[in-house]
A and B are shown apart, each in its own frame.
Chain A
Amino acid sequence: MKTTITLQVNGDVYELSVEPNQTLLDVLREELALTGTKKGCDSGACGACTVIVDGEPVLSCMTLAVRCQSKEITTIEGLARNGELHPLQKSAIEHDAVQCGFCTAGWLLSAKVLLENNPAPTRAEVRTAIAGNICRCTGYKRIEDAILAAAGKNTGWRKKM
């Protein structure tokens, strides 16, 4: 039986009719067409589907949409404001921290939560925060550099012109 729920996604309020067995990930991708959030392993191990729910990093593939009634959800589409990229996104581009891009949405949101709670993290803290986000391309070094640079730390990295 379908249930009506209200979701606040990236500041917009949506009233949706969902089946209780639909995951938040499926609702975001299929009902709201917010396909920036990726479906990776679909079993909670890869972190590609990470979104922010009420300030916490959450695996949307493991969350039932009916449980998100009235919760504030941020997806990758909500990171840029008024056409201006989020500092983390800018830093990711500057540091070439993106290759295939499948994990990017997930780790950017994990990093956003980290920096909100800890504005000046150490490299070890960055590693712990993104440990749940598997990247098979970059080897993590550039992702870590990008996050540290966004937190205002000098990572000694210079872009070759």
Chain B
Amino acid sequence: MKVPKFEYAQPKSIGECCKLLEEHGANAQAIAGGTNLMVALKNRLKVPKMLVDLCCVPNLNGIRYSQKDGLNVGALVTLRHLVADPVVREKYAIFARAALDVGSAQIQAMGTIGGNLCQDSCCLYYNRPPMWRQGLEACHKLWGTVCHAVRRSKTCWATYCGDLAPVLLVLGARVKIADPKGEKVIPLSELYSGDGKVPHTLHPGQVVMEVQVPTPSANSGGAYLKLRVRKTIDYPLLGVAVTLALEGGDGTFRDVKVALTGVGKAPLLIKAADELKGKKITDEMIEGLAEAAYKQAHPVNNASGLTPKYRRDMVRIYVKSAVDQSLEAATRRGGGT
């Protein structure tokens, strides 16, 4: 499969990059690691006239940490680079875990943090070669009027399948976004639109520059569990991220957060988790949390491997396991003593 023709630019500053992207609007496409984009280009899902390469933009490549400001990761840091960082491994173990669960060693060496957060949503009827797609009417994501995954649906049901987003959501991350007018920092959840067709809220000319993750508190632990068929390569058919912090001694939640991926149009932060703050941990409470997550998850029939029902049923089980593992990790760190 040949990549379609395009003009290619390597801007040397973030300002130049945003200007180029804004100028060419819908005809421009930014490229970071390219692992997600290259397949879309080969399948003619994206046919940009101008490809803007971020590789030469300075200062997007670093990892900085301080106790006060937390972790700052440049958008172009590769997953492999992130995982190799001792601070990330120690203080943000679930971030490293999720990065290790993305694709293969090769994809981790190429794929970037920013690119992973901005990856397109997936659908069995969309992520296909042009010949295959010719046999079907154009779907919403291809600017048509039908959905093949959910019959008679008026909207697109393509699923958000990033691994890092749920983990960064539960860690309370924010993203720094550059646009031609300047820079702004927004909570990560605002990066996602909840629309299968256009899953991000970025406008033409906007680029994710940096991810900012606050320092986790001392008595906290987390887990990321990923359901898939082939242990390498596959996108999550379900991903569950949990972080929780314990009040010292008496087994009370100071904070608990749960997020899902692979079962909705955007990464989903489970709202019911907020109500558990300051309450004593019981089995019923964890059951309730799993039930709330189950209700918020809406996998549809647009991924190969496992049925939507199975994936949804697994939400309960994965949430419970992830909470158990997080409790164990938090206790190990001194939360339960």
Q: Chain A interface (Cβ within 8 Å of chain B)?
A: 1, 3, 19-23, 42-45, 47, 50, 56-59, 61-64, 66-67, 110, 113-114, 128-133
Contact B5 A21 (CB under 8 A): yes
Sample of 29 A–B contacts (CB below 8 Å): A1-B7, A3-B8, A19-B5, A20-B5, A20-B51, A42-B1, A43-B39, A44-B35, A44-B103, A47-B104, A47-B106, A56-B80, A57-B105, A59-B110, A61-B38, A62-B34, A63-B38, A63-B110, A64-B31, A64-B38, A67-B34, A110-B106, A128-B105, A131-B105, A132-B103, A132-B104, A132-B105, A132-B107, A132-B232
A69 to B107, CA, bound (A): 20
Contact B109 A56 (CB under 8 A): yes
Contact A64 B34 (CB under 8 A): yes
A110 to B109, CA, bound (A): 11
A65 to B231, CA, bound (A): 29
Q: Which residues of B contact A23 (CB under 8 A)?
A: 3, 38
A137 to B38, CA, bound (A): 28
A107 to B134, CA, bound (A): 35
Residue of A nearest to B5 (CB): A21
| Residues of chain B in range 15-41 having any CB-CB distance to chain A below 8 Å | 31, 34-35, 38-39
Q: Chain B interface (Cβ within 8 Å of chain A)?
A: 1-8, 31, 34-35, 38-39, 42, 51, 53, 55, 78, 80, 103-107, 109-110, 231-233
7 residue pairs, one from A and one from B, having the closest CB atoms: A132-B104, A20-B8, A131-B232, A56-B109, A21-B3, A62-B38, A59-B106
Residue of B nearest to A131 (CB): B232
Q: Which residues of B contact A131 (CB under 8 A)?
A: 104-105, 231-232
Which of B3, B5, B6, B38 has a CB less than 8 Å from the CB of A44?
Answer: B38
Contact A44 B53 (CB under 8 A): no
A22 to B8, CA, bound (A): 12
4 more CB-based (< 8 A) A-B contacts, given A56-B78, A62-B35, A131-B105 = A42-B1, A61-B38, A67-B53, A114-B105
Q: Which residues of B contact A47 (CB under 8 A)?
A: 104, 106
A52, chain B: closest CB distance, angstroms: 10
B303, chain A: closest CB distance, angstroms: 15
Which of A21, A67, A110 has a CB less than 8 Å from the CB of B105?
Answer: A110
A62 to B106, CA, bound (A): 10
A126 to B2, CA, bound (A): 33
Contact A57 B106 (CB under 8 A): yes
Contact B110 A62 (CB under 8 A): yes
Residue of A nearest to B84 (CB): A117
A119 to B233, CA, bound (A): 25
Contact A132 B233 (CB under 8 A): yes
Which residue, A50, A56, A66, has most C-beta atoms of chain B within 10 A? Answer: A56
A113 to B104, CA, bound (A): 13
A114 to B7, CA, bound (A): 36
